[in-house]
């Protein structure tokens, strides 16, 4: 017993020393990460995490623009491949929207059309949408405006807001999801996100090549907020959530209750139907119910690869699977809003996991969802 007591004291002492050291060396965000992830029974970020963070509300309008139901709504059955994929990867929502009507809709147990789950990096597409709106509103001049116009910390840098949106910023960010000491982990769990971002430097020539960096979108969100002098959640509500007739309020995770800076690179919690509205908006060249919500030229630019052969435009992923022009919003755990304009088709999937195998820059489940959606439509 004495040995056990001594070991317990040593263990508590070591833990106490590590906690103190984490605060001294500014790694206390790791403690929050442990508390949010491991103490809730998870091994990594998870789709239902918004109650563990501060959030700002993206308010819906007084009226909702409900999705019409297709005349064949849910009459066709899911394929065996889709069912097994959904089961294996923990899909919680799957929608097929054909000709602007919901053709097929499925939710896992304990989830529904109103359930909020984390968008993860689909928020990057929404942040870029706010960039397009800020240009329309005159807060930002164009995609070519230098970031140094907004933050003196980047004086002399040639990076533009368009470079941030298209993942060609040249920032010295390292996109790592495995190390708790990575800047990506710090950005997700730290309480002063602006400090983290403004300590970044431009080390590569911007505007030359695609390099996916969450820090680029976070800086873009900070610039949009600074230029407009409107919190991102409020600007999103006024610019898109209300005009698009979203069915419910959404939440945007913040870094801290005092700073209240939205995580522009991730973490909008909403439902599949409301996320799908952005697919329709871009498919329809920025128009919604006859009103130009987003500039059509901006939409055309965003939905095409900026760099030849690369899978990214401005805030949107780009694919030519099956010879079709496809653009999509995409999140780390297999969150997708896939848009195929030539077939007037939107496929939305939300869930706990994605395939680990990549083919041509996309997880293999991305291709499965497209293939199986067409099979359901053709029944």
Average pLDDT of span 209-218: 97
CA 362 to chain centre: 16
User: What is the predicted pLDDT for the residue at 5?
Assistant: 55
pLDDT at position 133 over 50? yes
Which residues does 304 contact at the CB level (< 8 Å), separation at least 6?
A: 313, 318
Per-residue confidence band for 2, with pLDDT thresholds at 50, 70 and 90: low
CA distances to 39, 194, 294, 351 from 222, in Å:
31, 8, 20, 28
CA atoms of 255 and 154, how far apart (whole Å): 22
User: What is the predicted pLDDT for the residue at 8?
Assistant: 52
- Do 15 and 154 have their domain in common? no
Q: What is the full DSSP assignment across 151-175?
A: -GGGTT---BHHHHHTT---B----
- Do 72 and 12 have their domain in common? no
- Do 27 and 135 have their domain in common? no
Average pLDDT of span 268-283: 98
Burial 206-218 (b: 16+ CB within 10 A, else e): bbeebbbbbbbbb
* % of the chain beyond a pLDDT of 70: 91
Per-residue confidence band for 142, with pLDDT thresholds at 50, 70 and 90: very high
- Do 99 and 183 have their domain in common? yes
Q: Do the beta carbons of residue 30 and residue 189 sit within 8 Å?
A: yes
- Do 146 and 242 have their domain in common? yes
Burial 119-144 (b: 16+ CB within 10 A, else e): bbbbbbbbbbbbbbbbbbeebbeebe
The boundaries of the domain holding residue 346 are 44-377
Handedness of CA 83, 84, 85, 87 (dihedral sign): positive
Average pLDDT of span 240-246: 98
pLDDT at position 212 over 90? yes
- Do 35 and 50 have their domain in common? no
- Do 30 and 57 have their domain in common? no
Average pLDDT of span 303-324: 98
The structure tokens listed for 266 are 């991730």
3-class DSSP state of 105: strand
The structure tokens listed for 84 are 């097994």
pLDDT digits (tens, 9 = 90+) for 78-116: 999 999 999 999 999 999 999 999 999 999 999 999 999
Which residues does 359 contact at the CB level (< 8 Å), separation at least 6?
A: 367
* Better-predicted residue by pLDDT, 73 or 188: 73
User: What is the predicted pLDDT for the residue at 257?
Assistant: 81
Q: Do the beta carbons of residue 66 and residue 247 sit within 8 Å?
A: yes
Instruction: With CA atoms as reference, report the closest residue to 221 among 186, 175, 190, 267.
Output: 267
CA atoms of 237 and 66, how far apart (whole Å): 17
User: What is the predicted pLDDT for the residue at 327?
Assistant: 98
User: What is the predicted pLDDT for the residue at 199?
Assistant: 94
- Do 254 and 225 have their domain in common? yes
Per-residue confidence band for 6, with pLDDT thresholds at 50, 70 and 90: low
What's the predicted TM-score (pTM) here? 0.93
Q: Do the beta carbons of residue 266 and residue 119 sit within 8 Å?
A: yes
- Do 161 and 25 have their domain in common? no
Per-residue confidence band for 180, with pLDDT thresholds at 50, 70 and 90: confident
CB neighbours of residue 166 within 10 Å: 26
pLDDT digits (tens, 9 = 90+) for 16-63: 443 443 444 445 677 677 777 877 888 788 999 999 999 999 999 999
- Do 216 and 102 have their domain in common? yes
Neighbouring C-alpha atoms within 13 Å toward the C-beta of 152: 0
Instruction: With CA atoms as reference, report the closest residue to 215 among 266, 261, 254, 181.
Output: 266
pLDDT at position 11 over 80? no
| DSSP letter assigned to residue 95 | E
- List the CATH number of the domain containing 332: 3.40.710.10
- Do 20 and 138 have their domain in common? no
Q: Looking at the 3D structure of the chain, how many domains does it have? A: 2
- Do 149 and 183 have their domain in common? yes
Q: Do the beta carbons of residue 316 and residue 125 sit within 8 Å?
A: yes
Average pLDDT of span 310-334: 98
User: What is the predicted pLDDT for the residue at 18?
Assistant: 37
Per-residue confidence band for 182, with pLDDT thresholds at 50, 70 and 90: confident
Note the helical H segments in the chain: 2-24, 29-36, 80-89, 122-136, 161-165, 183-189, 193-198, 214-228, 232-236, 272-283, 296-302, 364-377
């Amino acid at each position: 017993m004495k040995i056990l007591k001594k070991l317990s004291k040593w263990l508590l002492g070591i833990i106490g020393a590590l906690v103190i050291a984490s605060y001294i060396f500014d790694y206390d965000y790791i403690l929050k990460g442990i508390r949010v992830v491991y103490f809730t029974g998870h091994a990594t970020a998870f789709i239902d995490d918004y109650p563990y963070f501060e959030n700002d509300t993206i308010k819906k309008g007084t009226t909702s623009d409900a999705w019409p139901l297709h005349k064949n709504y849910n009459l066709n059955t899911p394929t065996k491949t889709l069912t097994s994929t959904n089961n294996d990867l923990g899909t919680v929502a799957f929608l097929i929207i054909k000709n602007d009507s919901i053709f097929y809709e499925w939710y896992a147990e304990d989830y529904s059309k109103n359930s909020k789950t984390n968008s993860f990096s689909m928020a990057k597409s929404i942040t870029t949408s706010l960039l397009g709106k800020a240009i329309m509103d005159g807060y930002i001049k164009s995609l070519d405006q230098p970031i140094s116009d907004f933050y003196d910390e980047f004086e002399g840098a040639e990076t533009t807001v368009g470079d941030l949106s298209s993942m060609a910023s040249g920032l010295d960010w390292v996109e790592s999801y495995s190390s708790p000491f990575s800047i990506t982990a710090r950005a997700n769990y730290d309480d002063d996100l602006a400090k983290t971002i403004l300590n970044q430097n431009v080390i590569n020539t911007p505007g030359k090549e695609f390099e996916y960096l969450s820090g680029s979108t976070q800086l873009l969100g900070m610039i949009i907020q600074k230029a407009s002098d409107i919190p991102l959640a409020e600007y999103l509500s006024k610019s898109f959530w209300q005009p698009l007739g979203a069915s419910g309020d959404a939440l945007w995770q913040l870094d801290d209750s005092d700073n209240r800076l939205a995580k522009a690179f991730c973490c909008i919690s909403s439902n599949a139907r409301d996320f799908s509205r952005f697919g329709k908006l871009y498919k329809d060249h920025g128009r919604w119910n006859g009103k130009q919500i987003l500039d059509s030229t901006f939409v055309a630019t965003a939905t095409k690869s900026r760099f030849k052969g690369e899978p990214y435009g401005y805030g949107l992923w780009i694919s030519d699977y099956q010879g079709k022009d496809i653009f999509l919003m995409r999140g780390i755990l297999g969150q997708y809003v896939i848009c195929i304009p030539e077939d007037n088709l939107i496929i939305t999937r939300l869930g706990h996991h994605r395939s680990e195998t990549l083919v041509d820059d996309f997880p293999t489940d991305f291709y499965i969802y497209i293939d199986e959606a067409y099979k359901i439509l053709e029944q």
